[in-house]
């Protein structure tokens, strides 16, 4: 890891003169956390981190519509960004949608072994009191002032990492480290399949329960790299009034279902919506379900091939996979 | 808001199943409704008067009509609104007939549903806004695609009325399939004798521009303003210099099967398809010419007295503008080789109907003598098998080709005229002869010409001692039959063509699975395509004989003349509209629009937003459904209006 970090810093030093800023990760408020960082000056390069806690999808900062004031740049300038395999799928989708301009990006690719879901550590140790962490390829040792625990990293991976088929960045200008072989025999929609084994009634009850917990903070929408409508978002619209402001299971259900439909065939399974959910709703499963439908109907997986045209963004008189039962 | 509700009995079409009085009573309880009436026939003169009177006396400003399908009478009631001084788009139509009374039996439930439908309509009506059309110029030129009899007729009708026409034909000559035919039913006049004068007339008409050996490459635009790219394929012969002397065609050493003679004989690599071809100018087949393939030969170039051979010629693309388009691309024979049991290809003496036309024709490969292709002998027994590829659902051809019964009778007559001693057998399923003089024609074939009609299908054909043996059933006698014949003619069915399907895609008009173009309404709009300003004529719409093709061509021409008689056209106001403030510039609308009606617009601050060209927009609503922030609304069907309908429906079912 540390070799990779050194290589990263070296590359960023090379890239930095060409870009307005470079987006990467830095150490967070405790040893378990990292935070996104915008490097503008060479002296800040040392703040960069690269480890198994780097879970944020930095592609979120790329759509011009989503960039905060002060992070816009003039024509001709570029942004550098560090992207994991899953995050690069978001960029591919954004490229296909014409939202980001490839010319304006300098992408640093990196191999990824999966990120650690801190929530999965919670049952073993109080993750809010961690004072020190030791990490190697297989195991993680976490210390608080009073306790310590050693866990196999593979037990702590995000669910999305377990079904990941893209351990290497898909589009990049520079790649650091060695590329990993993509894992075989992965069922990318396993989580949806699992959920669908529940009876219809049980599933309805499951979601009704989840929706009743939602506080409509809209963090899922705000973190999503593909939800870039910002102030114009349909879910904030008064005319027409698609969703009520009221926060209850019924109104929340509309909110999430409309969002899932808007992400159909666009969601790149980065799982950020579920990660940022303050009440831990596995909300990524709804767009994932839409993705599976699109996969079965069009053989389409969002953000995996830059040259393809998203099926719901094109008009064809006849579709290869639809209406050919004759 | 003053909403008037009018519920139509439609005779008893609606009132037999729906309690219209109860629906009207309910409507009166809805917010904004100031009057509710039932009318025996809302579309009748008294019905229209009642609506007008109420609008004027009660100052109604939104009208809800519960009646038939809006496809039937929406236009009628829009006119009523306009006559009463209201904007016609302040009308909301609830379909209480096709979508309610006709499909339900239980009076109570149907009345409940009618009440729901009126509820929804009233709620939407309250959100309707007045809409106005804009006007676009109409280009007076017409494009006719396909130079067969239908295309020629349509082009002549329009040209004769003083308007310019471009006639595009993909093969080197106009004339189409009719030029191949010998004599035509029911009068048995010579096909060429009645067709060639029209070919000459259209070619020399001052208002007609003829593009032979040309294809439509790309079509954009909309009714009144089509832009069409036409590819003029390289003939490799300079049409200006060529005198049509034909010396080149005589000397060409290459042999290739003649398309015009249905492969019965050969033509050269440079050839004139048939003697009366228009234009009478040869064309070089680039796929077989030795000079093109191997840079050897060039004999035609040496022999041409005017130096017209131009091997270096390239395809030319021209772009022209038209106000209307007529598609008359015709038909071809279905792939009869799927009938392996009839031995086509295996036996030389099993031929298709179109080949028999060429054999009968005096300009054909046998000079008009009926001969067997195998040994040149005159046949003593000729068998004709009808419905090969027609009315055969098992082979994917469930429809009737409509001409085979008639030309089979014609073959019986012509065969007997050529060979008075020959016997003719026709295997048929039913005889369909239902046009003027058709039944008499078939009777004549049977009575005067002694054609033997055998009702039943042939199951197998095989060879025995140089003759063709047909095994089948005579369903009238209820027994199997076996017939020895010398020549077998398959009356092959008609199909739409692959090239028509490709053209339909370029034109954005619909077609069926057999390649026939779909008319806008089978009864009331038979020559209009699904796209405004594009009309269809002849056998590209469905199997047709010559009289019907000509009639339809003239009908399409009259529709075109009706269109181009206007200097300006009103566009429908029911088009998409972008709210610039909401647009995030993702342009998903642009990529899904089937009509290329969406453009990029750059605002003063440099942001890019979508913009709709209302003249191109057909109001399909794809953009509106695709737009994530709902920045595009379809006028007359805005989200707000549709949600209001949904809300009135869902109030009845609080679970939704």
Summarised one tens digit per residue, pLDDT across range B443-502 is: 999 999 999 999 999 999 999 999 999 999 999 999 999 999 999 999 999 999 999 999
CA-closest candidate to residue B32, choices B61, B56, B65, B69: B61
**DSSP state for residue B180 in the 8-state scheme:** G
d(CA A246, CA A216): 9
Write the DSSP assignment of B549-579 as a string of letters: HHHHHHHHHHHHHHHHT-SEEEPPS--EEE-
Q: How many domains does chain A have?
A: 3
For residue A239, the chain B residues in CB contact (below 8 A) are 640
> Do both A198 and A303 map to the same domain?
yes
Question: Please, which residues bridge with residue B304 across strands?
Answer: none
d(CA B154, CA B552): 9
d(CA B153, CA B91): 42
- In 3-state terms, what secondary structure has residue B98? coil
- Give the best residue of A101, A208, A232 to mutate against chain B (max B CB count within 10 A): A232
Nearest chain A alpha carbon to B622: A315
**Long-range Cβ contact pairs of A135-144 (< 8 A, separation 24 or more):** A135/A1, A135/A51, A135/A52, A137/A113, A140/A52, A140/A116, A142/A32
Q: Give CA separation, A279 vs A220, A283, B647, in Å.
A: 11, 10, 31
- Give the best residue of B591, B596, B620 to mutate against chain A (max A CB count within 10 A): B591
What is the predicted pLDDT for the residue at B531?
A: 87
Q: Do A239 and B592 touch (CB under 8 A)?
A: no
> Do both A171 and A24 map to the same domain?
yes
B307: burial class by Cβ within 10 Å (0-12, 13-18, 19+)? exposed
**DSSP state for residue B582 in the 8-state scheme:** T
Distance in Å, alpha carbon of A175 to nearest chain B alpha carbon:
30
Task: Judge contact between A89 and A95, C-beta under 8 A.
Answer: no
Structure tokens at B64: 């809800």
Residue A320 maps to a domain:
no
- In 3-state terms, what secondary structure has residue A243? coil
Q: What is the pTM of this model?
A: 0.71
List the single range of A96-100, B9-13, B61-65 with lowest mean pLDDT. A96-100
Residue A322 maps to a domain:
no
Average pLDDT on B104-109 reads 94
Q: Which pLDDT band, with edges at 50, 70 and 90, does B652 fall under?
A: low
- Give the best residue of B127, B585, B623, B628 to mutate against chain A (max A CB count within 10 A): B628
For residue A238, the chain B residues in CB contact (below 8 A) are none
For residue A312, the chain B residues in CB contact (below 8 A) are 588, 592, 626
Task: Judge contact between B489 and B384, C-beta under 8 A.
Answer: yes
d(CA A243, CA A238): 8
Structure tokens at A83: 């992207």
Nearest chain A alpha carbon to B642: A240
For residue A98, the chain B residues in CB contact (below 8 A) are 586-587
Q: Which pLDDT band, with edges at 50, 70 and 90, does B360 fall under?
A: very high
Q: Which pLDDT band, with edges at 50, 70 and 90, does B193 fall under?
A: very high
> Do both A104 and A137 map to the same domain?
no
> Do both A142 and A271 map to the same domain?
no
Distance in Å, alpha carbon of B328 to nearest chain A alpha carbon:
21
For residue B630, the chain A residues in CB contact (below 8 A) are 234, 237, 240, 242
* B630 closest CB neighbour out of A228, A237, A315: A237
pLDDT in tens, A292-308: 999 998 889 999 988 88
Nearest chain A alpha carbon to B509: A317
> Do both A197 and A305 map to the same domain?
yes
pLDDT in tens, B506-526: 998 999 999 999 999 999 999
Residue A318 maps to a domain:
no
Other beta carbons within 10 angstroms of residue A198's beta carbon come to: 12
For residue A232, the chain B residues in CB contact (below 8 A) are 581-584, 629, 631
Q: Which pLDDT band, with edges at 50, 70 and 90, does B656 fall under?
A: very low
What is the predicted pLDDT for the residue at A324?
A: 55
Q: Would the CATH topology of B3-131 be identical to that of B576-635?
A: no
* A229 closest CB neighbour out of B622, B628, B640: B628
Distance in Å, alpha carbon of A144 to nearest chain B alpha carbon:
46
> Do both A80 and A152 map to the same domain?
no
* Dihedral Cα A79, A80, A85, A88, nearest 10 deg: 10
Q: Do A234 and B629 touch (CB under 8 A)?
A: yes
Residue A243 maps to a domain:
yes
What is the predicted pLDDT for the residue at A240?
A: 74
d(CA B27, CA B8): 13
The domain B333-495 is classified under which CATH number: 3.90.930.12, 3.90.1490.10, 3.50.50.60, 3.30.1490.20?
3.50.50.60
Could you tell me how far CA B193 lies from the centroid of its own chain?
27
Q: Tell whether the model's pLDDT for residue B565 goes beyond 70.
A: yes
What class, spelled out in words, does domain B142-330+499-564 have in CATH?
alpha beta
> Do both A130 and A213 map to the same domain?
no
Task: Judge contact between B175 and B147, C-beta under 8 A.
Answer: yes
> Do both A200 and A302 map to the same domain?
yes
Could you identify the residue written with the tokens 């309509």? B121
Task: Judge contact between B259 and B332, C-beta under 8 A.
Answer: no
Residue A185 maps to a domain:
no
- Give the best residue of B513, B586, B616, B634 to mutate against chain A (max A CB count within 10 A): B586
> Do both A46 and A171 map to the same domain?
yes
Q: Do A234 and B513 touch (CB under 8 A)?
A: no
Other beta carbons within 10 angstroms of residue B338's beta carbon come to: 15
* CATH T-level fold of B576-635: Alpha-Beta Plaits (3.30.70)
For residue A233, the chain B residues in CB contact (below 8 A) are 628-629
What is the predicted pLDDT for the residue at B615?
A: 81
Task: Kindly state whether B11 is in contact with chain A, defined as any CB-CB distance less than 8 angstroms.
Answer: no
Q: Give CA separation, B333 vs A130, B262, B401, B404, B497, in Å.
A: 81, 11, 10, 11, 9
Q: Do B629 and A326 touch (CB under 8 A)?
A: no
Task: Judge contact between B24 and B34, C-beta under 8 A.
Answer: no
pLDDT in tens, B628-649: 888 999 999 998 899 899 888 8
Query: Residue A99 sits in which domain range?
Result: 2-114+167-175
Question: Which B-chain residues 511-530 have CB contacts (< 8 A) with chain A?
Answer: 513
Residue A180 maps to a domain:
no
Task: Judge contact between B223 and B137, C-beta under 8 A.
Answer: no
Task: Kindly state whether B640 is in contact with chain A, defined as any CB-CB distance less than 8 angstroms.
Answer: yes
What is the predicted pLDDT for the residue at A73?
A: 63
Residue A41 maps to a domain:
yes
> Do both A139 and A212 map to the same domain?
no
CA-closest candidate to residue A9, choices A67, A49, A57, A63: A49
Question: Which residues of chain A have a pLDDT value below 50?
Answer: 326
Distance in Å, alpha carbon of A103 to nearest chain B alpha carbon:
18
Q: Which pLDDT band, with edges at 50, 70 and 90, does B79 fall under?
A: very high
Q: Do B630 and A99 touch (CB under 8 A)?
A: no
Q: Enumerate chain A positions whose Cβ falls within 8 A of a Cβ in B.
A: 65, 97-99, 228-230, 232-234, 237, 239-242, 262, 309, 312-315, 317, 326
What is the predicted pLDDT for the residue at B449?
A: 95
Indicate the domain borders of chain B: 3-131, 142-330+499-564, 333-495, 576-635
Structure tokens at A242: 């698609």
> Do both A126 and A65 map to the same domain?
no
Architecture of domain B3-131: 3-Layer(aba) Sandwich (3.40)
For residue B594, the chain A residues in CB contact (below 8 A) are 315, 317
Q: How many CB contacts within 8 angstroms connect chain A with chain B? A: 57
> Do both A225 and A277 map to the same domain?
yes
Task: Kindly state whether B228 is in contact with chain A, defined as any CB-CB distance less than 8 angstroms.
Answer: no
Percent of chain B with pLDDT strictly greater than 90: 87
Q: In the β-sheet with B91-95, what is the strand arrangement from edge to edge? A: B33-39, B3-8, B62-67, B91-95
Residue A274 maps to a domain:
yes
Distance in Å, alpha carbon of B628 to nearest chain A alpha carbon:
6
CA-closest candidate to residue B275, choices B258, B287, B293, B296: B258
- Give the best residue of A74, A95, A234 to mutate against chain B (max B CB count within 10 A): A234
Query: Please, where are the H alpha helices in B256-298?
Result: 290-294
For residue B253, say if its preceding peptide bond is cis, omega within 30 degrees of 0.
no
Q: Do B592 and A229 touch (CB under 8 A)?
A: no
* A240 closest CB neighbour out of B513, B626, B643: B643
Residues with Cβ within 8 Å of B112's Cβ and at least 6 positions away in sequence, in order, are: none
Nearest chain A alpha carbon to B623: A313
Q: Tell whether the model's pLDDT for residue B217 goes beyond 70.
A: yes
């Amino acid at each position: 890891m540390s070799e990779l970090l050194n290589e990263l810093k070296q590359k960023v030093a090379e890239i930095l003169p060409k870009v307005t800023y470079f987006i990467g990760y830095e150490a967070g408020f405790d040893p378990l956390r990292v935070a996104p960082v915008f490097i503008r000056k060479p002296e800040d390069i040392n703040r960069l981190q690269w480890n198994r806690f780097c879970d944020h999808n930095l592609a979120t900062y790329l759509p011009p519509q989503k960039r905060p004031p002060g992070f816009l740049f003039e024509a001709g300038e570029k942004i550098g960004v560090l992207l994991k395999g899953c995050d690069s799928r978001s960029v591919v989708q954004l490229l296909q949608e014409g939202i980001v301009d490839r010319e304006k990006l300098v992408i640093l690719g990196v191999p990824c072994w999966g990120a650690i879901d801190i929530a999965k550590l919670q049952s073993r140790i109080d993750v809010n009191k961690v004072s020190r962490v030791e990490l190697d390829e297989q195991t993680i040792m976490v210390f608080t002032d009073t306790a310590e625990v050693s866990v196999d990293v593979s037990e702590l991976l995000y669910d999305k990492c377990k079904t990941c088929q893209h351990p290497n960045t898909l589009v990049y200008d520079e790649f650091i480290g060695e590329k990993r072989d993509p894992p075989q025999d992965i069922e990318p929609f396993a989580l949806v399949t699992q959920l669908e084994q529940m009876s219809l009634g049980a599933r309805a009850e499951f979601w009704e329960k989840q929706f009743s917990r939602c506080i409509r903070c809209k963090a899922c929408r705000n973190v999503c790299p593909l939800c870039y409508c910002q102030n114009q978002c349909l879910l904030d619209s008064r005319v027409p009034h698609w969703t009520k402001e009221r926060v209850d299971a019924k109104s929340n259900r509309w909110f999430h279902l409309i969002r899932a439909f808007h992400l159909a065939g666009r969601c790149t399974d980065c799982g950020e919506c579920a990660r940022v959910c303050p009440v831990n709703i596995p909300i990524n499963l709804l767009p994932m379900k839409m993705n599976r439908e699109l996969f079965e109907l069009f053989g389409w997986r969002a953000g995996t091939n830059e040259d393809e045209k998203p099926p719901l963004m094109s008009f064809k008189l006849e579709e290869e996979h639809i209406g050919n039962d004759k | 808001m003053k909403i008037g509700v009018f519920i139509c009995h439609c005779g008893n079409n609606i009132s037999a199943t729906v309690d219209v009085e109860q629906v009207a009573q309910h409507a009166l309880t809805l917010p904004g409704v100031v009057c509710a009436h039932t009318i025996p026939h809302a579309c009748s003169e008294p019905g229209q008067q009642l609506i007008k009177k109420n609008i004027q006396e009660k100052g109604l400003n939104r009208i809800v009509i519960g009646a038939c399908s809006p496809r039937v009478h929406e236009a009628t009631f829009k006119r009523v609104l306009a006559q009463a001084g209201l904007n016609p788009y302040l009308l909301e139509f609830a379909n209480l007939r096709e979508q309610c009374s006709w499909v339900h039996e239980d009076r109570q439930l149907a009345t409940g549903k009618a009440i729901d439908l009126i509820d929804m309509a009233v709620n939407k009506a309250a959100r309707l806004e007045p809409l106005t059309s804009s006007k676009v110029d109409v280009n007076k030129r017409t494009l006719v695609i396909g130079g067969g009899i239908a295309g020629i007729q349509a082009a002549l009708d329009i040209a004769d009325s003083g308007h310019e026409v471009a006639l595009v034909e993909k093969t080197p000559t106009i004339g189409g399939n009719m030029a191949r035919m010998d004599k035509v039913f029911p009068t048995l006049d010579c096909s060429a004798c009645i067709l060639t004068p029209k070919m000459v007339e259209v070619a020399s008409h001052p208002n007609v521009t003829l593009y032979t050996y040309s294809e439509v490459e790309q079509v954009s635009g909309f009714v009144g303003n089509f832009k069409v790219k036409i590819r003029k394929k390289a003939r490799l012969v300079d049409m200006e210099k060529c005198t049509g002397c034909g010396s080149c065609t005589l000397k060409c050493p290459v042999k290739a099967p003649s398309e015009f003679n249905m492969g019965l004989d050969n033509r050269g690599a440079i050839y004139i398809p048939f003697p009366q071809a228009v234009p009478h100018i040869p064309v070089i087949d680039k796929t077989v010419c030795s000079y093109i393939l191997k840079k050897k030969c060039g004999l035609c170039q040496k022999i041409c007295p005017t130096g017209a051979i131009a091997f270096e010629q390239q395809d030319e693309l021209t772009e022209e503008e038209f106000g209307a388009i007529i598609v008359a691309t015709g038909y071809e024979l279905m792939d009869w080789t799927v009938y392996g049991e009839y031995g086509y290809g295996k036996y030389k003496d099993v031929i298709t109907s179109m080949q028999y036309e060429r054999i009968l024709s005096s300009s054909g490969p046998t000079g008009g003598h009926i001969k067997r292709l195998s040994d040149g002998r005159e046949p003593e027994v000729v068998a004709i098998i009808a419905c090969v590829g027609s009315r055969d659902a098992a082979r994917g051809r469930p429809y009737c080709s409509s001409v085979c019964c008639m030309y089979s009778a014609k073959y019986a007559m012509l065969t007997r005229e050529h060979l008075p001693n020959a016997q003719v057998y026709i295997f048929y399923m039913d005889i369909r002869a239902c046009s003027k003089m058709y039944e008499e024609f078939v009777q004549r074939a049977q009575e005067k010409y002694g054609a033997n009609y055998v009702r039943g299908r042939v199951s197998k054909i095989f060879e025995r001692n140089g003759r063709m043996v047909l095994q089948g059933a005579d369903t009238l006698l209820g027994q199997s039959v076996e017939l020895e014949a010398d020549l077998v003619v398959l009356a092959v069915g008609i199909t739409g063509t692959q090239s028509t399907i490709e053209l339909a895609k370029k034109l954005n008009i619909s077609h069926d699975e057999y390649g026939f173009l779909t008319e806008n309404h089978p009864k009331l709009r038979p020559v209009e395509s699904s796209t405004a300003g594009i009309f269809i004529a002849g056998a590209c719409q469905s199997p047709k004989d010559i009289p019907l093709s000509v009639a339809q061509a003239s009908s399409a021409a009259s529709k075109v003349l009706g269109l181009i008689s206007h200097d300006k056209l009103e566009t429908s106001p029911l088009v998409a509209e972008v709210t610039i403030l909401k647009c995030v510039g993702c342009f998903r609308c642009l990529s899904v629009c089937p009509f290329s009606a969406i453009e990029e617009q750059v605002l003063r601050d440099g942001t890019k937003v979508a913009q709709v060209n209302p003249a191109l927009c057909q109001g399909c609503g794809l953009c509106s459904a695709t737009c994530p922030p709902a920045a595009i609304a379809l006028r007359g069907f805005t989200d707000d209006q549709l949600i209001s309908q949904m809300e009135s429906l869902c109030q009845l079912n609080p679970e939704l």
